[in-house]
Amino acid sequence: LAQTPLFRGVSETALQVAREAFVARSYPAGKLIFEAGDLGAALYVVQSGKVRIYRTYFDGRERMFAYLGPGEVFGEMSLLDDQPRSASAEVVEDAVLLVLYQDGYWSLVRRYPEILHNLAVILAKRLREADLELEVLSFEEARGRVAYALIKLSRQLYNGGNKLRLTHMELAQLSGTSRETVTRVLHALRDEELVKLGSGSVELLDPTGLEEVMLGLR
């Protein structure tokens, strides 16, 4: 427990009390710990082994959020807000998990509020990661949309010609993104040698490559 960020900087006495509040459980690889939507108010600390956090969607697709190893915490969200589990948790490598139930949690944070602060730090870190991911995802989409707009413009306005005259603003309107995003995407495409940028013009150097971008293949 001393290794987890949840107990960073807390006194030995607090750690001793915490050890008594947690219950150790062994889980074999492949075991589902809980599923998204489950009711449950317990927080877990990975003592050994590996756990993955993911979501399955109706069409069977899955999205991986994280792999967690020793010292890492999960399940804190439902413990804090009493809402159903936001994701599923499954054991990937035989694991020993330390489980903290709500009663234990409350008596612990009342006595040692620094643990609550540590939990807030863990949540802040997760939010930062989620923000970054959101940015990357929307950027990927914008890449595809900008590439699509360039290809479409080349086909419809230039009969397949590769040198397009247009401003970033026009391209933004065509691709349904902001001008800033278009500029960012164009700079990335230029760095990948897919386009050449002039003032008021975009030259398509590699239309096949751009089609791949449009389809999300690169």
Residues that bind ligand CMP (CB under 6 A): 53, 65-66, 74-78, 85-87, 89, 126, 130
Rounded least distance, CB 102 to ligand CMP, Å: 12
Rounded least distance, CB 134 to ligand CMP, Å: 10
Q: Which residues pair with 62 in a beta bridge?
A: 56
- Find, among 126, 215, 217, 141, the residue nearest to 175 by Cα: 141
In terms of CB distance, is 10 or 89 closer to ligand CMP? 89
> CB-hemisphere CA count at 13 Å for 133?
10
In terms of CB distance, is 133 or 140 closer to ligand CMP? 133
Rounded least distance, CB 82 to ligand CMP, Å: 10
Tokens standing for residue 157: 């306005």
Question: Counting beta carbons within 10 angstroms of the beta carbon of residue 183, is it exposed (0 to 12), middle (13 to 18) or buried (19 or more)?
Answer: middle
Rounded least distance, CB 65 to ligand CMP, Å: 4
Q: Which residues contact 155 (CB under 8 A, 6 or more apart)?
A: none
In terms of CB distance, is 76 or 194 closer to ligand CMP? 76
In terms of CB distance, is 40 or 207 closer to ligand CMP? 40
